[in-house]
Structure 1
Amino acid sequence: MTCPHDPGARRPEDIVHEEKAQLDFSKSMSYGDYLHLDEVLNAQHPLSPAHDEMLFIVQHQTSELWMKLMLHELRAAILAIANPSENTKPEAFKMLARVSRIMEQLVNAWTVLSTMTPPEYTAMRPYLANSSGFQSAQYRCIEFALGNKNAAMLKPHAHRPELLAQVEAAWRAPSLYDEALRLMARQGIPVPADRLERDWTQPYEASAGVEQAWLTVYRDPHAHWDLYQLGEKLTDIEDAFRLWRFRHVTTVERVIGFKRGTGGTGGVSYLRKMLDVVLFPEIWTLRTAL
């Protein structure tokens, strides 16, 4: 410890000078530079005079950012499950756990948007034209990666060839669940052959043979620990996805009632049909048989 009269003691003016030097980011990358905040924070361009349009824009932009991260994790997890090694399976489980947490963030985003009342939305709706979340290419890629395949959902992206190519690639590729079943088969669990090689563009249909395969895993978790963990990660994802869709439909009904959506869908009626879609059916039905 130095005393005030020690020649080695730091003077107050020296400390102030050092702090000023540390706060000078003119010659190095700053926080804003790294995150490109100028571009991000200036990407909100309301078209109406309505105060609440800023909420609408920010909610959807941030949701798209979360979906970008979700796709980043989903694609890497699917690749790791399709080409597993001793190290990649735990990494895939971590990625899938992150996907579930991202969905929780998206659920909370609907909670914020639900503060918009019907008159507030009505004031800005004419300015939206035909733009709709129904047209989100990233959301469609997520649905396809999770197995909800539908060729009709390619059409909203036909006017953007680069986006259409991304969505079509997700439509043609094996889903997360397809790769999970193939992994089960490679690890010696009998899986029906028609579920291991099929037309990946078609929605998955439940199979008694696949349920039996999962029952083999769940009846002896310690012998099939990796597959048991995978099954629970899939359960977490579908659980979170159901909540996301449910909060979507209730928020839309709260804000616009049963009006048609701006993208031309039936609005609430269309969204309610989506609540009945089951992504990983045998993961749920096996619980009754245990």
Structure 2
Amino acid sequence: MSTHSKTQPRPYKPMSEEDRRKQMEESNGEPVLDFSTGRVNENSTPYIDYHSVDVLLSLQHPRSDEPAEWPFYITGQIQELLFKLMFTEVNRVRDFLFEDRLDEAIWYLRRIERVQRVLTATWEPISTITPTEFAGFRNELGTASGFQSYMYRQLEFSLGHKVRRMAEAYRSVDWLYTQVTETLEAPSLYDAVLSLLRRRGMDIPEECVTRDFAEPYEPHPAVEAAWAEIYTSPREHHELYVFAEALSELNFQYSRWRTTHFLAVERIMGYKPGTGGTLGVEWLRRVAEHRFFPELWSVRTEL
């Protein structure tokens, strides 16, 4: 679950509730404006240090004079941070499931759904870019394309969309290829789901839970039958029923993000080829048709 990041040192010591009460009394409830006491970095404040704001705001380097490149550039960076957050939370849910902590898994799925809504909303600033504005900086992208995002690729792998060849985009960067490959070969969220269902007494075949996790998952009729049993007996399987709908919501919100993506691109650049060698909008349209947790989706037709 590595994201190739390290814990940062603490320039300012942590505060207790008693420390905060004392500070409030000394400031008469007004904001503290003097941070000289105990300061390690004279060019910083506690907030800057905690969020690494000075580093974060120094990472924007548009390559053209076109003003519309700014929303494109910054929104892309915001999406990368949200991919990292989702990847972290999805893997947390997966681990809860392997530990039979279903109630906690459901709670964290609630947080993931909120993150997904924010992620989808990030297309709003980009959708304001006109074709003429985009043409003003598109050439500066070279062969850079969103599908090369390693956080997005790891997120897709962690949710169960395993495509080994997609890891090849990172082979030239040793640490990154190792990281992405580890995610590819690890159990996905859906692998953990099926393992949980089997332990809870559902008729999940052994072949569905003991397999090569780097290979694409093949839907199985017995798994669809298990979901059908849960949906047709919601009182008997109440917790699993609630869990099924939480997974369905994750799937729904992810599909909304993908669909909004291809609509935004279609609006901005039409049917031009993508910068990364794809068909552009047509490629995104096909990607948007993919669904995670396949039997959970297909069972709806049978109910």
TM-score, normalised relative to structure 2: 0.85
Deviation for aligned residue 1:139: 0.4
Instruction: Give me the whole-angstrom Cα distance separating, in 1, the residues matched to 2:178 and 2:237.
Output: 38
When the two structures are aligned, how many residues end up with a matched partner?
Answer: 273
The equivalent residue for 1:71 is 87
The equivalent residue for 1:80 is 96
Runs of 5+ unmatched residues, structure 2: 1-24, 40-44
CA 1:125–1:196 in structure 2 vs 1: closer, same or farther (change >3 Å)? Answer: same
Farther-moved stretch of structure 1 (194-203 vs 217-226): 217-226
The equivalent residue for 2:22 is none
For residues 1-290 of structure 1, the aligned pairs below 5 Å read: 22-27=32-37, 30-84=46-100, 88-290=101-303
For residues 267-290 of structure 1, the C-alpha deviation after alignment (integer angstroms, 9 at most, x for no partner) is: 111111112212112112222333
Farther-moved stretch of structure 1 (225-234 vs 247-256): 225-234
Instruction: Give me the whole-angstrom Cα distance separating, in 2, the residues matched to 1:198 and 1:274.
Output: 25
Deviation for aligned residue 1:20: 8.2
Bigger radius of gyration:
1
Root-mean-square deviation over aligned CA pairs = 1.9
Instruction: Give me the whole-angstrom Cα distance separating, in 1, the residues matched to 2:173 and 2:284.
Output: 25
Deviation for aligned residue 1:125: 1.0
Instruction: Give me the whole-angstrom Cα distance separating, in 2, the residues matched to 1:286 and 1:245.
Output: 22
CA 1:25–1:260 in structure 2 vs 1: closer, same or farther (change >3 Å)? Answer: same
| Structure 1 letter corresponding to 2:116 | M
Deviation for aligned residue 1:241: 0.7
**In the alignment, is the contact (CA less than 8 A) between 2:291 and 2:297 conserved in 1?**
no
Q: Per the alignment, in what secondary structure is the counterpart of residue 197 of structure 2? A: helix
Instruction: Give me the whole-angstrom Cα distance separating, in 1, the residues matched to 2:204 and 2:302.
Output: 18
Deviation for aligned residue 1:221: 2.0
The equivalent residue for 2:8 is none
| Structure 2 letter corresponding to 1:191 | I
For residues 18-67 of structure 1, the C-alpha deviation after alignment (integer angstroms, 9 at most, x for no partner) is: 68893112335522221111011111011111111111111000111111
Instruction: Give me the whole-angstrom Cα distance separating, in 2, the residues matched to 1:133 and 1:165.
Output: 20
Instruction: Give me the whole-angstrom Cα distance separating, in 2, the residues matched to 1:16 and 1:179.
Output: 52
Q: Per the alignment, in what secondary structure is the counterpart of residue 22 of structure 1? A: coil
Farther-moved stretch of structure 1 (115-124 vs 188-197): 188-197
Farther-moved stretch of structure 1 (156-165 vs 68-77): 156-165
